[in-house]
Chains A and B, each alone.
Chain A
Amino acid sequence: MAHRVGMEVSLAVSEAVQMARAEAIAAYPITPQTHIVEHLSSVVANGELEAEFVNVESEHSAISTCIGMSATGARTYTATSSQGLALMNEILFIASALRLPIVMTVANRALSGPLSIWNDHGDIMAARDIGWIQIFVENGQEAFDHSVMAFKIAENHEVLLPTIINLDGFILSHVVEAMEFPDQELVDKFLPPYHPRYCLDPAKPVTMGAFAMPEVYTEVKMAHQTALTNSYEHILKVWKEWGDLTGRHYQPVEKYKTEGAKTLLLTMGCLSEVAEVAVDEMREAGMDVGLLRLRMWRPFPFADLRNAVAGAKLLIVCDRALSLGGAAPPVLAEVRSALYAMRGRPQTASFVIGLGGRDVAPDAFKAIVAQAQEEAQQKPTQEYHIFGVRG
């Protein structure tokens, strides 16, 4: 029987990794990811999880160690944030190119500088093109569920790609929430042991990470790109299987009160729960406003997004990161590309909010909707707004 618990979300993620029977963990502590790996370290030390926990001197070593451990065929996990993800950067591309199904939690935090330990999505957006599957969650239950499901997705022989679960630092990682945990039996049935297609084995040697000449590099990248794009259908199958077992179903783009909505907000991560409150209040006030929650960031769910916006006149994209000097913040850039060829596409408006831990209350979304609706009648004067900036 599933049971309900109240627990800090970081610890729930650790519990999920434990229930998934991770066999190899290498991690370096960084705020706000620390509680996740601290807890895993203690359950390994206490013999509650039969796994190798490798203490390393940096995130660069953490992900490098994970690559080595995953290459031996072990179910491998790590977690990081912000500067730690940035320090991993060059190795992240290698993990995906080697098709190693490492699962990583990123407790999203602003990048320095200025030094900030608080939440935004600048860290993962700087690692957008690393070739990993990337999922966003908005509450503790989702963090737990997706942490288990990530292993099944990553290890599917048709996928075999490393997977990141993004959860907002502090505002999600450090809150205590009520969650439902399944029984170990259910998780074991859902997630059988990992069997690699190729692994490091002295009895059957292979070369991993060989050099590619210009004659073949393009073909290797095409194979990777195709695998990431095609992972979409397998991700959906895993989500459906989990949904059938637990009653909790997930979609690449989730709709909240979108029936008849002419104006849609689009958010990722924890912003979605706040936006739901704002949408409830605006609906009560008679406004035809709905919300789209973007869960799947890589592979990007182009068709789902186009279907979800059909009928809307105005789509307001809320980014929690900047692309400095660029045409658009990262989510807007993707959304506009997805919609460009669409007939009768909605007008887009763009707001960057919640940078470096700036609090976002429901009223912010009401103000954003009011401003976007007013500006939709005028000629656009700027590509996007940084909401709430003084001066």
Chain B
Amino acid sequence: MSSKPMDQVTWQEILLGAVLTEPGSAREYNTGDWRSQHPVWTKSRCIRCGVCWTVCPEGAISEEPGGYFDMNTYCKGCGICAKECVTGCISMVPEEE
């Protein structure tokens, strides 16, 4: 497929069999658009254990300077990190329109 955004590609530009010749197409797709809620870390209660980073099924949690954690643009808001957080420092906050 071409380097155009997916919603602008015409059928004539689809490569044979919709083959992808370059890596990284998933990176271009910002799955964070889907979420209806997102995790918020309360740093004062975070022990920097990294359980949230470990359990995130989508690699959507990144380590920040100082060993704390935060979500990236691929977080779909599933809430597993909040459920599994050892100290309960993550809360799920609804998206604002």
Contact = CB atoms under 8 A, between A and B. Distances in A.
B18 A212 contact: yes
B25 A160 contact: no
Contacts of A210: 18, 20, 25
A223 B14 contact: yes
16 contacts: A98-B18, A98-B19, A99-B16, A100-B17, A198-B15, A206-B19, A208-B19, A210-B20, A212-B18, A216-B7, A219-B9, A219-B10, A219-B11, A219-B14, A220-B11, A223-B14
Contacts of B21: 198, 206
Nearest to B7: A215
A146 to B, nearest CB: 24
Interface string B1-33: 100001101111111111111010100010000
Given A210-B25, A213-B29, A215-B7, A220 B16 contact: no
A197 B18 contact: no
Interface of B: 1, 6-7, 9-21, 23, 25, 29
Contacts of A318: none
A220 to B, nearest CB: 5
B19 A97 contact: no
A341 interface: no
A213 B12 contact: no
A219 B2 CA distance: 13
Interface string A25-48: 000000000000000000000000
| Interface core residue of A160, A205, A212, A216 (most chain B CB under 10 Å) | A216
Contact of B17 (A98, A205, A216): A98
A222 B11 contact: yes
Nearest to B12: A223
A205 B20 CA distance: 9
A99 B15 CA distance: 10
A87 to B, nearest CB: 23
B29 A207 contact: no
Interface residues on A, range: 20 to 34
B16 A198 contact: yes
Contacts of A100: 17
B16 A197 contact: yes
Interface in A165-223: 197-198, 205-208, 210, 212-213, 215-216, 218-220, 222-223
Given A210-B25, A223-B12, A97 B7 contact: no
A111 to B, nearest CB: 29
Contacts of A99: 16-17
Contact of B19 (A207, A212, A216): A207
A226 B19 contact: no
B73 to A, nearest CB: 16
A223 B19 contact: no
A207 B6 CA distance: 16
A226 B14 CA distance: 12
B7 A220 contact: no
